[in-house]
Structure 1
């Protein structure tokens, strides 16, 4: 861990003037890109359109993550403060996919902000955290109003709101995240499978892993140790190593998916050895470098 922190520090850019923050995006225009009823087959034209439309927001998160992880807190805070002052992402959402983009971005921004919060000025903290709360309120309102099944998107909403609770200290958001976690545990099958994700045909394994990822981070932030989560993680890791069980369950061969994003956070919280070394995990939506613990994690 110490060597990784040193490597990140050495990779930090020399002191420089920050690039000007891009104009804030109030509205989000995004579209679904699956072409089948199981949402498992990607339409490349629709996917390309969605990537192009959401690129300014993805780029903003990626830059904040790079700065926050590489020791350039001043630039990250300047960018966050700029979008906070313009109340970014609180305008019109074009579709359900737009709501997805907003919650992924909020969670990522809050987790990256956690790395640099201590370096923010009081004015920056007030502006950024007020903006995060407005976005969390919007995420909760959307989730609570939505009818029908709850799947991985609900869990990612739970992570976004929980992370906002972590950086602001507001118990209301932490409590809502706990509600999402409990709901997920209640949905889980006895063997650890998440039924809504098992309905995704050839992407069932992919979405089992994708759903487990925010749940282990929620558990770490809230310092929850739960035998049900142990079962979920064990099923996810075993299925990642051998997808044949999910293939039999769904009747469809599964795309191979790794589970290190799940295990690196889960093992750290449970005081277990880290998973086998591999390519460094970088995920702006989870706070950047996953090998470096997030300040919101409760470590053993």
Structure 2
């Protein structure tokens, strides 16, 4: 019901933005060493902790996608007013209590920057200065945390790369784009000849899920940078093939896999930019992910579609 209420707001008058969230106190919700078993109580606790941030991003993404789709300037103004309201006091630049808090912040930065790309042309100079300056501070914080905690360079590293890349693309800051290219290059070197990612295979029964999840930011980054890479093609093919026939990934991961109902919606981004599309049918009509800028069926202005 909450998501339906949020979705319906794009057809209503713009509500006042919520109070800015400066500190994020999220929590881990996996219970095993391979991060493959979720504790539902801990998951519910985490969802409650990050709901104000997620709800904020949801509204911004809904309004930004609506503006690009139908051109009602009220949608653009709403998204921009919300972003400005959190930009000026420096939301999400306070205390991050856990690794999960940092994850939430980087996912939100990526989604905000990709949504802002849709409405940037409608921003006033004052809004651009405030919002883009804030994105820069968030990107700097993301880079500083990532570079200081050079642990497992798995899917979280790729999502950090997308967040900083999107921030660089909308602000024009070349060092953010350079850092994003470094992340993308690191990821491509991790892809094995068969298309697998060793660190995602380590996720036991969630190995397939995390291959699909890891591919999402890399697919968007490839389109933003307008690059084609054979390693990305191998990864996407490996992950997509695993949905129809998980036997290979089950052998490699040593566990039965949780199977999604269909190919994730990021395939629409991949198919727009890849030399050879993979889909045999249309993407889902409701192809939504606020962390990827909202409506994935609606090409983001930062993308470089070839079809």
TM-score by length of 2: 0.91
Query: Structure 1 stretch 226-235 or stretch 175-184: which is displaced more?
Result: 226-235
Q: After superposition, where does 1:180-199 map in structure 2 within 5 Å?
A: 180-199=183-202
Alignment RMSD, CA only? 1.4
Query: Structure 1 stretch 237-246 or stretch 132-141: which is displaced more?
Result: 237-246
CA distance in 2, matches of 1:293, 1:278: 13
Q: Is the 8 A contact 1:233 1:262 kept in 2?
A: no
- What residue is the counterpart of 1:162 in the other structure? 165
Q: CA deviation at 1:263?
A: 2.1
Q: Judging changes above 3 Å, is the alpha-carbon distance between structure 1 residues 34 and 140 closer, same or farther for their aligned structure 2 residues?
A: same
Unaligned runs of 5+ in 2: 1-8, 68-74
Q: Is the 8 A contact 2:268 2:283 kept in 1?
A: no
Match of 1:143 among 139, 146, 168: 146
What is the total number of aligned residue pairs between the two structures?
A: 288
CA distance in 2, matches of 1:149, 1:259: 26
1:155-194 Cα offsets, whole Å, 9 max, x none, are 0000000000111111111110000001011111111101
Q: Is the 8 A contact 2:10 2:62 kept in 1?
A: no
User: Is 2:224 the counterpart of 1:221?
Assistant: yes
CA distance in 1, matches of 2:283, 2:239: 18
Q: Is the 8 A contact 1:202 1:255 kept in 2?
A: yes
- What residue is the counterpart of 1:295 in the other structure? 301
- What residue is the counterpart of 1:29 in the other structure? 25
User: Is 2:278 the counterpart of 1:282?
Assistant: no
1:13-57 Cα offsets, whole Å, 9 max, x none, are 26x3x2111110100010000011110100011111100111000
SS of the residue corresponding to residue 11 of structure 2 reads coil
- What residue is the counterpart of 1:61 in the other structure? 57
Unaligned runs of 5+ in 1: 1-10
1:180-239 Cα offsets, whole Å, 9 max, x none, are 001011111111101100000000000000001100101110111111111111111111
Q: Is the 8 A contact 1:283 1:290 kept in 2?
A: yes
- What residue is the counterpart of 1:76 in the other structure? 79
Q: Is the 8 A contact 1:236 1:259 kept in 2?
A: no
Q: CA deviation at 1:242?
A: 1.4
CA distance in 2, matches of 1:241, 1:268: 22
User: Is 2:257 the counterpart of 1:251?
Assistant: no
CA distance in 1, matches of 2:175, 2:165: 9
- What residue is the counterpart of 2:94 in the other structure? 91
CA distance in 2, matches of 1:29, 1:138: 16
1:124-149 Cα offsets, whole Å, 9 max, x none, are 00000000000000000000111322
Q: CA deviation at 1:245?
A: 1.0
CA distance in 2, matches of 1:98, 1:229: 28
CA distance in 2, matches of 1:269, 1:145: 33
1:229-272 Cα offsets, whole Å, 9 max, x none, are 11111111111221111111122110012333342111101254
TM-score by length of 1: 0.93
Query: Structure 1 stretch 77-86 or stretch 267-276: which is displaced more?
Result: 267-276
SS of the residue corresponding to residue 265 of structure 2 reads helix
CA distance in 2, matches of 1:297, 1:147: 29
Q: CA deviation at 1:12?
A: 5.5
